[in-house]
Amino acid sequence: MFKHAILCAALFAPLCAQAATDADLRDIRTQIEQLKKSYEQRISQLEQRLQQAEADSKHAASTAAQAQATAQQASRPPAAANSFNPAISMILSGTYGQFQQDPSIPATGFAMSPNNNSHTRSFSLKESELGITADIDPQFRGVATLSLAPTGGLSAENAFIQTTTLGNGFNLKFGRFFSGLGYLNDQHSHTWDFVDQPLVYVSMWDNQLGEDGMQLKWLAPTDTFIELGAELGRGLGFPGSDRQTHNGPGAAVLFAHVGDDIGYSDSWRAGISLHQTKQVNAVSNNVPDLPGTLGGVSNSFTGNTKTTGLDFVWKHAPNGDTTITNFKLQGEYFRRQENGMLTYDIAAANTTDSYAVTQSGWYLQGVYQFMPMWRVGLRYDQLDPGTAQVGALNAANVISSYGYTPKRSTVMLDYSPSEFSRLRLQLAQDKSRQGLTDNQLFLQYIMSLGAHGAHQF
Please state, in angstroms and as integers, the Cα–Cα distance from residue 64 to each residue in 52, 58, 73, following that order.
17, 10, 14
CB of 375 to other proteins, least distance (A): 13
Helices then strands, counting H and E runs in the chain, come out as 3, 18
CB of 141 to other proteins, least distance (A): 8
CB of 76 to other proteins, least distance (A): 6
Please state, in angstroms and as integers, the Cα–Cα distance from residue 195 to each residue in 327, 412, 414, 416, 446, following that order.
19, 9, 10, 15, 10
Ranges within 316-375 binding other proteins (CB under 8 A): 317, 319-324, 372-373
> Is 457 a binder of other proteins (CB under 8 A)?
yes
- The rounded radius of gyration (Å) of the Cα atoms in the chain is 37
Pick the binder of other proteins from 219, 290, 310, 399 (CB under 8 A). Answer: 219
Pick the binder of other proteins from 13, 17, 90, 166 (CB under 8 A). Answer: 166
Ranges within 232-261 binding other proteins (CB under 8 A): 256-261
Q: Which helix (H) or strand (E) holds 18?
A: helix 2-19
Stretch that binds other proteins, among 4-12, 68-76, 292-300, 353-361 (CB under 8 A): 68-76
Residue 275 and residue 238: Cα distance in Å, rounded?
A: 11
Smaller CB distance to other proteins: residue 106 or 229?
229
Up-side HSE of residue 393: CA atoms within 13 Å toward CB?
A: 12
Is the bond leading into 138 cis (omega within 30 degrees of zero)? no
CB of 225 to other proteins, least distance (A): 3
Smaller CB distance to other proteins: residue 228 or 376?
228
299-331 burial code (b ≥16 CB/10 A, e <16): bbbbbebebbbbbbbbbbbeeeeeeebbbbebb
Pick the binder of other proteins from 18, 21, 70, 122 (CB under 8 A). Answer: 70
Q: Is the dihedral of CA 195, 196, 198, 199 positive or negative?
A: negative
Pick the binder of other proteins from 42, 121, 246, 452 (CB under 8 A). Answer: 452
Pick the binder of other proteins from 2, 12, 264, 415 (CB under 8 A). Answer: 264
Smaller CB distance to other proteins: residue 225 or 368?
225
Q: Which helix (H) or strand (E) holds 257?
A: strand 251-262
Ranges within 277-316 binding other proteins (CB under 8 A): 315
CA-nearest of 57, 69, 46, 107 to 431 is 107
Ranges within 128-157 binding other proteins (CB under 8 A): 141
Residue 332 and residue 203: Cα distance in Å, rounded?
A: 13
Q: Report the 10 Å Cβ neighbour count for 278.
A: 18
Instruction: Check if the beta carbon of residue 341 is closer than 8 Å to that of residue 393.
Output: no
> What's the distance, CA 194 to chain centroid?
14
Mask 81-120, x = binds other proteins (CB under 8 A)? Answer: ----------------------------------------
Instruction: Check if the beta carbon of residue 342 is closer than 8 Å to that of residue 356.
Output: no
Smaller CB distance to other proteins: residue 46 or 373?
373
Pick the binder of other proteins from 12, 123, 170, 415 (CB under 8 A). Answer: 170
Pick the binder of other proteins from 401, 419, 439, 441 (CB under 8 A). Answer: 419
Kindly determine how many residues on this chain lie close enough to bind other proteins according to the rule CB under 8 A: 65
Smaller CB distance to other proteins: residue 259 or 391?
259
Ranges within 172-201 binding other proteins (CB under 8 A): none
Pick the binder of other proteins from 1, 19, 23, 72 (CB under 8 A). Answer: 72
Q: What is the DSSP track for 87-145? A: EEEEEEEEEEEE-SS-TTSPPTT-TTS-------SEEEE--EEEEEEEE-SSSEEEEEE
Mask 47-66, x = binds other proteins (CB under 8 A)? Answer: -----------x--xx--xx
Residue 234 and residue 175: Cα distance in Å, rounded?
A: 11
Instruction: Check if the beta carbon of residue 230 is closer than 8 Å to that of residue 216.
Output: yes
Smaller CB distance to other proteins: residue 2 or 374?
374
Amino acid at 342: L
Smaller CB distance to other proteins: residue 347 or 454?
454
Pick the binder of other proteins from 14, 153, 417, 435 (CB under 8 A). Answer: 417
Smaller CB distance to other proteins: residue 339 or 421?
421
Ranges within 2-31 binding other proteins (CB under 8 A): none
Residues that bind other proteins in the complex, under the rule CB under 8 A: 58, 61-62, 65-66, 68-70, 72-73, 76, 78-79, 141, 162, 164-171, 217-228, 256-261, 264, 267-269, 272, 315, 317, 319-324, 372-373, 417-420, 452, 454-457
